[in-house]
Amino acid sequence: MSTSVEPTAPTGSPQPTDTGRRRVPAAVSLAALSLGGLAIGTTEFASMGVLPGFASDLGVSVPTAGIAISAYALGVVVGAPLIALVGARWPRKRLVVALAVALVLFNALSAIAPSFLPFVALRFLAGLPHGAYFGTAAVLGSALVPPEKRARALATVMLGLTIANIVGVPAATWLGDTFGWRSAYLAVTVIALITVLAVTTLVPSPPGDRGGSLRGELTALTRPQVWLTLGVIATGFGGLFAVYSYISPILTAQAGVPTSTVPLLLGALGIGMTVGNVAGGRFAERAPRLTIAIALVVYSAVLVAFTVGAHHEVSATLGLFALGFVGMSAGPALMGRLIDFAAEGPSLAAASFHSAFNVANALGAALGGAVLAAGLGYDAPAAVGAVLPLFGIVVFAVSVRMERRRAV
């Protein structure tokens, strides 16, 4: 099988891109696209931090309030393929701007929701642009650089999502605690509005960007390699969520970490994700398949080590950093692999990347909850999570074997 992608910029050194009268360096354009990831990552994870606030204000219990978080995740899963198909014919820059406008609208409305049911509906709507934004921005961003720099460009587009875990989520949570939960969503609205302005003024439309076609996008779904790569993501990377979903009781009960200190330790996870994402872009440029394989093996080992490390504050912090680093290091290589094998419809395949991660999220959280409910203790989520990358390795081995046979 050919692994060519849609025509991108000419080979050679990255050239500044032309946005109207001004020429903008490609790095600046990619940074503008990454702002959307900062808004998305903040609105997704800050909801967990301000959950007690909106539960109390909207008159529901904390467990009931969790429905709003599930509604957002459902919006991500539904919206990623749906919007990629509906917007298949749109020029990709126009679609990215429209999705950023949707982030502005639905987060602003979330901030003024009068009661719980409208709030749940708005959180579902706020989740719809999530995967489609990243998928379309990834394809657009990769067209702004030479092919040999694509993996690094994909990592830059994803950078805002990882930075959100270091800066955006703690800041939004602090705003929610200090000025009320609605201020957290207003902050996301501001970031999304800046994204609209930045993408409009700093990101060019690549030559010949007339969007794709509905038939081309659907063709991507007929490719076994696309489904196998999505399977690697869905099965191989649920271990993080098996731990992350229950990280507060794990740290407080086993490592003796005060509740007020938990956010600081989670900052180590965010830093690890950011560093791993940047490093993963470099790794993917050199050896994409090897990067994915090593990440899965090391991921399983780190989760096993975390069953011991989570009993001590320092080792738990190091473990969280390692989980974030290894988990994100495979991201650019996996995204590039999806785009390669879905050359006729890269937007749908790239958007499905985030749907697959939400499947991993649901799978990991469910398994972690099941072993805790069975009374196996707070070591159990990491232990069961360590099994998931092994399934990912099997799926990836099938994918690589098929790829090599087709090449021969």
Q: pLDDT digit string (tens) for 191-224?
A: 999 999 999 999 998 776 665 666 767 777 788 9
**How many domains, the chain?**
2
State the pLDDT at residue 400.
93
* Under-70 pLDDT residues of the chain: 1-22, 208-214, 216, 408
What amino acid occupies position 40?
A: I
Q: Helix, strand, coil % (nearest 5) of the chain?
A: 80, 0, 20
Q: What are residue 98's phi and psi, to 5 degrees?
A: -60, -40
pTM of whole model > 0.85? Answer: no
> How far apart (Å, rounded) are the C-alpha atoms in residues 101 and 96?
9
Strand partners, 24: 17
Q: Let me know whether 129 and 234 are in one domain.
A: no
Same domain, 292 and 332: yes
pLDDT tens for residues 32-78?
A: 999 999 999 899 878 877 888 888 899 988 778 888 888 888 888 88
Q: Which of 193, 212, 231 is the C-terminal boundary of a domain?
A: 212
Both 298 and 153 in one domain: the answer is no
**Domain coverage including residue 38:** 18-212
pLDDT of residue 208: 63
* Token pair of 121 as six digits: 């509906």
CA–CA separation, 171 and 396 (whole Å): 38
- 118 shares its domain with 38: yes
Confirm whether 388 is domain-assigned. yes
Rounded Cα distance between 341 and 3, Å, is 6
Q: How far is CA 31 from CA 131, 158, 195, 276, in A?
A: 18, 10, 10, 17
Q: Indicate whether 12 belongs to any domain.
A: no
Q: Of the candidates 160, 178, 212, which is a domain's last residue?
A: 212
**Residue 223: predicted pLDDT:** 85
pLDDT of residue 210: 63
206 with 244, same domain: the answer is no
Domain boundary among 212, 231, 256: 212
How is residue 200 written in tokens? Answer: 């409009």
Q: Is residue 382 part of a domain?
A: yes
Q: Verify that 220 and 199 share a domain, yes or no.
A: no
**Gap between the Cα atoms of 336 and 103, Å rounded:** 25
CATH code, domain carrying 137: 1.20.1250.20
Regarding whether 231 and 171 lie in a shared domain, the answer is no
> Could you tell me if residue 10 is inside a domain?
no
